[in-house]
């Protein structure tokens, strides 16, 4: 069986860095049904509480993120370099970078809000 989708080879170093906030930047590679992102967080960077219909896998390459999970934020997990966190769809979560951190996030399906610029939860928290 032949697949009509083109194969792509991407070098992270060739991708532009998208500034999201003063303390968070990202690079994206998107397929038809999944997305992978390099996320660069400066120490102290906050990812405000949010949820999405996308399943998420976060792999920490360097640094550490403190996650609060659930609507009540009752579950706390620190994910460090070499560790992976799986967040099912619709689970509220927020994170704090405990140090300068590079993580790889994988989403299925792709995060449309990241692609079309409607990921306002990053900016709403800064404004308010």
CATH number of domain containing 93: 2.60.120.10
How many distinct structural domains can be found in the chain?
Answer: 1
Separation between Cα atoms, residue 14 and residue 112, nearest integer Å: 22
41-86 confidence digits (pLDDT tens):
999 999 999 999 999 999 999 999 999 999 999 999 999 999 999 9
- Kindly state the average pLDDT of the residues 17-28: 97
Separation between Cα atoms, residue 118 and residue 128, nearest integer Å: 17
Return the C-alpha torsion angle 116, 120, 121, 125, nearest 10.
Answer: 150
Per-residue pLDDT at 125 exceeds 70: no
CA-to-CA dists, residue 101 to 4, 18, 32, 55, 119, angstroms: 37, 16, 28, 21, 20
Per-residue pLDDT at 127 exceeds 70: no
Contact 88, 52 (CB under 8 A): no
Per-residue pLDDT at 128 exceeds 60: no
Report the phi/psi class of residue 88: left, alpha or beta, with left for phi > 0 and alpha for psi in -120 to 50: beta
26-35 confidence digits (pLDDT tens):
999 999 999 9
What confidence score (pLDDT) does residue 2 get?
59
Per-residue pLDDT at 87 exceeds 80: yes
Kindly report the pTM of this predicted structure: 0.91
Residue 116 placed within a domain? yes
Residue 23 placed within a domain? yes
**What's the count of helices (H) and strands (E) in the chain, helices before strands?**
2, 10
Q: Which domain covers residue 31, as residue numbers?
A: 15-127
Residue 83 placed within a domain? yes
């Amino acid at each position: 069986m032949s697949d009509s989708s083109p194969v792509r080879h991407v070098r992270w170093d060739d991708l532009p860095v998208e500034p999201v906030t003063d303390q968070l930047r990202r690079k994206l590679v998107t397929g038809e049904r999944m997305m992978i992102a390099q996320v660069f967080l400066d120490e102290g960077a906050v990812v405000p509480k949010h949820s999405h219909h996308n399943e998420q896998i976060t792999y920490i390459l360097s640094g550490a993120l403190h996650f609060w999970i659930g609507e009540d934020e009752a579950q706390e997990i620190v994910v460090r370099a070499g560790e992976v966190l799986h967040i099912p769809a619709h689970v509220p979560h927020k994170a704090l970078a405990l140090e300068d951190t590079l993580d790889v996030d994988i989403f299925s399906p792709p995060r449309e809000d990241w692609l079309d610029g409607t990921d306002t939860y990053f900016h709403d928290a800064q404004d308010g």
